[in-house]
Amino acid sequence: MTDATELVGLHRPAFDRIPDPIPNPMTEQRDALARAAVERLFASRPDLTERYGEAGRRKCVEDTGHHILYLAEAAATDSPELFRGYVAWAKILFTGLNLPETDLADGLAALAEVVGERVGGALGQRALACIAAALRDLPSMPAAVPSFLRPEAPFGELAQAYLNALLAGDRRRASALVLDRVAAGAPVRDVYLHVFQPVLREVGRLWQTGAITVGHEHFATAATQAIMAQLYPHVFQSPRRGRSMVATCVSGELHEVGIRMVADFFEMAGWDSHYLGANTPARSILQAVEERDARLLAVSATITAHVGTVTELIGAVRAGLRGRTLRILVGGYPFNLAPDLWRKVGADGCAASAAEAVALAESWEAGPGAADGPGGGPRSGFGNGLPAGAPAFLLRTR
């Protein structure tokens, strides 16, 4: 059968077949585990039915399903830090919604009982260890996150004015603030690092604490992406150096601002960057790597539940390289939580920011001795810096 790529004459890469996803019994049983855990929780806490009703019970099942997604990734990679970070995020969200911490703790305890009964082997034991560690640390986890904006920081005043314009829904004002400062000589790199990044982190914090709505967050993100596009005449001024890289989010990942910043930083460093955007299917990523003769693949995953997808993508790319040299750089919130996670997913390294991503790639290009070898250099992940990756709707309708 002839497909669309053959009709338009596109070259099909040799590594056309994507390996089957790595099975995880916890995600495969997610719905059943969630229902069983909530059944046990509500049986032990009759007051929950009185407080939340049947609609709240259904929402609790949905929320517990998300708990399981994050728990499954933490257990699969033997990285308890991932689930601890998620629970810490959830505690702050509970605080913003005026929900008692005991509801979160009791829900996790009920989940542990069900996992202990229904998930066997090493995976089940690691999952139980993850829950136990999170419950142990829950009382000491902060109930609030301090602001990411500091007046004394570089461009601190501009960052605050930019945030104010975004929250007021004034994209023209936000754009003028940035473009005027760049016209006055501010480096685009500094605007990315000291304005866009902390402001988006602050927007995420404000949503997490219930100070703004998800509509505000979406507007701020979309406006920032539009303003980044307005800066492209400055981004593309650097002389080309004959180096190519592909930057992408894994399939299912919708948080794309961080990896877009990474691609722009490579462009400003003279690389030919090929930014594929959010929610990119693995097959398209594989094809882009070959077609663009990329020396580097930068992969972003802001949501912990997507770590397994990163592992699968890297495995597929490695399987199709046919001896070609390609470095793979990963980043995003999960890689901040677990410093060695990049090794477990099969990457060559990770970086804490777009600037560090470029520095690490340049050290690889310089050859042995310029870095610590594969995986050398900075050890935490780039991303848009938004608070821990839980779904935007988690608990919002309770």
Q: What is the pLDDT of residues 30-61, one digit of tens each?
A: 999 999 999 999 999 999 999 999 999 999 99
Q: What is the mean pLDDT of the chain?
A: 86
Q: Which two tokens stand for residue 136?
A: 């142990």
- Predicted confidence at residue 22, as pLDDT, reads 61
pLDDT above 90 covers a percentage of the chain that reads: 69
Residues 6+ apart with CB under 8 A from 12: 5, 6, 287
Q: Tens digits of per-residue pLDDT, 156-207? A: 999 999 999 999 999 999 999 999 999 999 999 999 999 999 999 999 999 9
For residue 379, the model assigns a pLDDT of: 41
Beta bridge partners, 59, equal none
Please give the average per-residue pLDDT across 77-97, as a whole number: 93
Tens of pLDDT, residue by residue over 132-144, are: 999 999 999 999 9
- On the question of pLDDT at 23 being above 90, the answer is no
Q: Is the pLDDT of residue 253 over 50?
A: yes
Q: Give the pLDDT confidence of 113-122 residue by residue, as tens digits.
A: 999 999 989 9
Ordered by where they begin, the domains of the chain are: 25-140 (1.10.490.20), 156-232 (1.10.1240.10), 239-366 (3.40.50.280)
The pLDDT of 72-92, averaged and rounded, is 94
Q: Tell how far CA 210 is from the center of its chain.
A: 21
325 pLDDT more than 90: no
| Residue in this structure with the two tokens 């090929």, named with its chain if needed | 274
Instruction: Give the pLDDT mean for 369-394.
Output: 41
Are 203 and 216 a contacting pair, CB within 8 Å? yes
Residue 15 token pair = 């590594």
Q: What pLDDT, on the 0 to 100 scale, is given for residue 21?
A: 53
Q: Is the pLDDT of residue 19 over 50?
A: no
Amino acid in the structure at residue 175:
S
pLDDT > 70: percent of the chain:
86
- Tally Cβ neighbours within 10 Å of residue 121: 8
- Strands of the sheet with 327-331, listed across from one edge: 272-275, 244-249, 296-300, 327-331, 349-350
Average pLDDT over residues 92-115: 94
Q: Are 24 and 123 in contact (CB under 8 A)?
A: yes
Secondary structure tally for the chain: helices H, strands E:
19, 5
**How confident is the model over 7-23, as a mean pLDDT?**
43
Backbone Cα Rg of the chain: 22
Strand residues in the chain grouped as ranges (E): 244-249, 272-275, 296-300, 327-331, 349-350
More confident call, 110 vs 18 = 110
Lowest mean pLDDT among 242-251, 288-297, 319-328, 363-372: 363-372
Give the Cα separation of 111 and 131 in Å (integer): 8
What is the model's pTM?
0.80
Position 369 scores a pLDDT of 53
* Higher pLDDT among residues 393 and 197, named by residue: 197
C-alpha 43/C-alpha 40 separation (Å) is 5
SS3 329: strand
